[in-house]
Structure 1
Amino acid sequence: MRRFWIVFLILIVIAVFYGWQNGPQWLASWNSGHQEMVEQQRVAGTAFGRENDRQGCFSSALARLESCKETEYKCTVSSGMYLRSCWQESLPSEGFCDGLPAFSDSPSEDDKAWIKDRCLELGATAKGCRILLKQKMQLCSNG
């Protein structure tokens, strides 16, 4: 049993050393890939927004989120960037902000329930739907 713990400890030390040596390279690679993804979504959102209204942008971002095959984090970030970029170029939509609760940095339990229910009504299964709806609430609250 003692041999097991010695081998286990040696493996831990090797793993920590390996992580310490390769951590900066991995982080630089991840940051580069993340920035590239964000820029691609910004360009795509801007192009789509030039041809569509705000509701079209929201529907497109939600569809992208639902069909995304990456991690939940990456899907949510990319869809959010796409949506914000799209809205900057899009035309207003009639009734787009009707019935939305006002945006708050600390939403009430009623607001959270509304967001959850609205995602269910939209047929959205991705958790990122809630973030997109909060962005919509923020846009509509800011005018």
Structure 2
Amino acid sequence: MLLLELYKNVELRPFIPAVAEFQSRLAGIEAECEPLGLSFEKEVQTEQEIFFALISQKALAFDVTNEMGEVWDIRLEPFSHFKSRSKKITFPFMGSNEQKQQNISEWIIALCNWEGFFYTQMQSISRDCCHDIIRMVSNVDFNGVSDSRYSTL
């Protein structure tokens, strides 16, 4: 999804910084493992839909690991930085990890620009709603990624 498309939808504008950061942090990962770049399976129209689309990115279902046993954390550094200090990278599928999803959910919310836009009907995502979405995401297959399809990555 282009940032311009987000800008056109007033409800989604607070997510522009989060989507831009995801684009930056995931840059280069597709060259290593094609289906793991930032993608939206369907058009998003609401805060809940974009939040769900971000938290269910395929790359988040993997513990990207290097030869030293370090695991890449999207919140701490871009993939390109992790790759530059690694000789060999593996992509073990981990599936749904509630703590990881909680941490990334809070990071997404922190990246959003909630004060920059005024809404007549504000429906911002609270921590309680965040927990509900995480429970829903626990049942998600990360846009079609499953353990059996990617166990050899």
TM-score (norm 2): 0.28
Higher relative contact order (CA 8 A, sep 6+): 2
Structure (1 or 2) with the greater helix fraction: 1
Please tell me whether Structure 1 or Structure 2 has the larger radius of gyration of its CA atoms: 1
TM-score (norm 1): 0.29
